Structure 1
Amino acid sequence: MARTATRGLVVRGWAPQVTILSHRAVGGFLTHCGWNSLLEAIARGVPVATWPHFADQFLNEQLAVDVLGVGVPIGVTAPVSMLNEESLTVDRGDVARVVSVLMDGGGEEAKERRRKAKEYVK
C-alpha cells in the first residue's frame, strides 16, 4: 500500500461501489457480471469490461455486450472450474487489451459505447 499511496487507493472490506462508479474520473468498470454490479454500472452510465465466472454471469455479459452495447468481453467462454486450472485462460495481456478497447480503442465504437452507457442514466 505504501508503494502505491501516491497513485491510488486500496479499500479494505466494504467499498461504496455506487459512489465510486458515480465519480466523473471513472471511465470504465471491470466486472464479473454479477447482476448487482452490472446494474450499478449501467445505472451510473459506466461502460464495462466483462469477465464472467459462472452461472448467470454469462447471460448478463450478453446483455451488456450484445443487447445494450455497453460492454467489451474479455473473452471467457466457459465457467471457472476450481478443480481445473486450465479453465483460467485470462492473462494480463487479455486484461490490457480489453481495458484499452474499453477506454479508447476502436475510436467511433468506443464513443458509441460511452453514448449508449450514458443513455441508460435517467
Structure 2
Amino acid sequence: MKIALIAHDKKKDEMVALSKKFEKLLSKHELFATGTTGLQIQEATDLSVYRFKSGPLGGDQQIGARVSEGEVDMIIFLRDPLTAQPHEPDVTALIRLSDVYEIPLATNKSTAMLLFKELENLAEI
C-alpha cells in the first residue's frame, strides 16, 4: 500500500512513536510524508519515506494531488485540533479528497493504531 504520513507540529512526536511501534509493518509499504514529518520519521527509524514539501509550503496539497490520481491508499494525519493552522484550507481539502476517493484517513493516534492493526491482520491472511 501507499501510505501518507502527516503530523502537525505538536503531533510529530506521536507520529514518530507510531512509526517506531509499527516500523516492521510500515517497512512493507511505500511511505510518503510532508517534509518535516518525513525527516523526523527517517531520523528515528530505518524507514524509507518519500518527502514532499512541508504542509504550510504545499505538502498537504501535493499529497492531495496523489490522492486524486489514485496514488495513495491510506492517510495518517495527526492533527492538532487546539492550534490554529495557517494552511487550514489545505487540510480541509485533503480531508475532503479522502472522502471523495474513499481513502481511509486517521486524524488521531487511536484511529491510526486501528488502521495499522487492521493492516497487520490483513498481512496474516
TM-score by length of 1: 0.33
Which structure has greater helix proportion? 2
| More strand by percentage | 2
Higher relative contact order (CA 8 A, sep 6+): 2
TM-score by length of 2: 0.32
